Amino acid sequence: MKKLFTLFTLILFISAGYAQRVNLDRFNFTVSYRDFPENPLPEAYKTYNVRLEASPSLGLGYSVQNLENNILIEGLKKVEGTGHITILLMMDDLEFEKPETVERIKTSKDKQGHEIKRSFFSTELTYSFGARMSLYDYKGNTLISNKILFDRDNKRSYKTPELNSAEDAVTYYSKKFNDIRSSIAAQLTATVVAQANQWLNNQYGFPVRQVNDIFWILNNKRHKSYRDQQKAWNDFKNAIVLMNANEPLDKVKQKMQSVINYFEKVKKEYITSDKEDRKMRYASYYNLAKIYLYLDEPEKAMMEADALAMNDFDERDGKFLHQAAAMLADKLRKNNADTRHFAINVNNYVSPVN
């Protein structure tokens, strides 16, 4: 009977211990906001125009205008005449070196184990290309001079499909060279335009970002805080779904306050150095830091991140979140702003008066 009682007590102890285990799971969510430029233009600069100068050897023809149309800086207005800034994109010659016929030997064995060699032939082309970009404002000032988008010294190669003889490989190359050249030119110019567009938006644009992120939420149904954690998560989802890059955060902040209050409460409730308590505090610090980041309150986010780093449970997350908050604070400061959620109506922007 005594042994049975001891066993029963042990089972209860283990069961109680399991009930208090802090199993944290990732819960995914999505947010949207309007990013700021790394190198903001003067406040009055709201319009831009694009000029693309391409070497005739690229054979772009009328497609030059289509490439120009692919340069779009979010948050600024593209104009046909002179904008506050002019983007000059220059694409140089596509140059090919002497083609080379290349042989590849495939070795295999037949059923008797005899070695069989078979040759395949292709033509290999080495080519080079250069592209640059300059930016000027309507007053004649140079903002960027000859930024390299594609370095001619960065040579590339192209290889034709393999054929059964060297003669066939040479014939194929001779017949298909113009098509090959056009295909390479189209790929290179599209790449250059995409790189220019990305750089311009990072430097001067206000692109809308949609970001996937995570919360850490208690997911042990036997833990006493399980229901409260799940409620906090549901309240968070109901608040974050209201977030829109083009609208102020007032409604989001109002609905988010109950979530903030809950995680603040958790930090004060689980105060021991026990690992399970530290995990509960970790999730609270982490989640609060994320909330404040997306509510555009980087100073509060840094405070939570620093507390997380000192909590002695995954210090790296605290340092990472502090860095993210510091970067946000710097962007807001450089752009003289206090939020990343606002509407932009480029139709209201007008070109400068010359």
Counting as low any pLDDT under 50, the low residues of the chain are 4-18
Which single residue is written with the structure tokens 């311009």? 200
The region that residue 165 occupies, defined by phi over 0 for left and psi between -120 and 50 for alpha, beta otherwise, is: beta
Which single residue is written with the structure tokens 């298909």? 176
CB 51 within 8 A of CB 346: no
Here the tokens at position 71 are 């340069």
The span from the CA of 57 to the CA of 92, in Å, is 8
Note the residue count of the chain: 354
- Number of helices (H) and strands (E) in the chain: give both, helices first: 8, 9
CB 164 within 8 A of CB 120: yes
Here the tokens at position 191 are 């790449």
The structure's pTM equals 0.81
Neighbours of 197 (CB within 10 A): 18
In CATH, the architecture of 47-204 is 2-Layer Sandwich (3.30)
The span from the CA of 70 to the CA of 196, in Å, is 10
Res 11: pLDDT: 38
**Cβ-Cβ contacts under 8 Å for 75 (sequence gap 6 or more):** 34, 205, 206, 207, 344, 346
Contacts from 286-289 at CB under 8 Å and sequence distance 24+? 286/215, 286/216, 286/317, 286/321, 287/215, 287/216, 287/217, 287/236, 287/259, 287/263, 288/260, 288/263, 288/264, 289/321, 289/325
Here the tokens at position 268 are 């004060």
**Cβ-Cβ contacts under 8 Å for 220 (sequence gap 6 or more):** 19, 21, 22, 23, 226
Largest CA distance in the chain: 101
Res 63: pLDDT: 78
Res 59: pLDDT: 85
Res 4: pLDDT: 45
| Alpha-carbon torsion (16, 21, 25, 27), positive or negative | positive
SS3 letters across 279-324: HHHHHHHHHHHHHHHHCCCHHHHHHHHHHHHCCCCCHHHHHHHHHH
Res 16: pLDDT: 42
CATH 3.30.160 occupies which residues in the chain? 47-204
The span from the CA of 352 to the CA of 354, in Å, is 6
82 vs 68, 77, 79, CA distance in Å?
15, 11, 7
The span from the CA of 297 to the CA of 60, in Å, is 48
Per-position b or e across 318-337, b if 16+ CB within 10 A of its CB? beebbebbeebbebbeeeee
Question: Residue 35's closest CA among 330, 349, 350, 346?
Answer: 330
**Cβ-Cβ contacts under 8 Å for 296 (sequence gap 6 or more):** 33, 249, 328, 332, 338, 339, 340, 341
Cross-strand bridge partners of residue 124: 100, 159
Res 110: pLDDT: 79
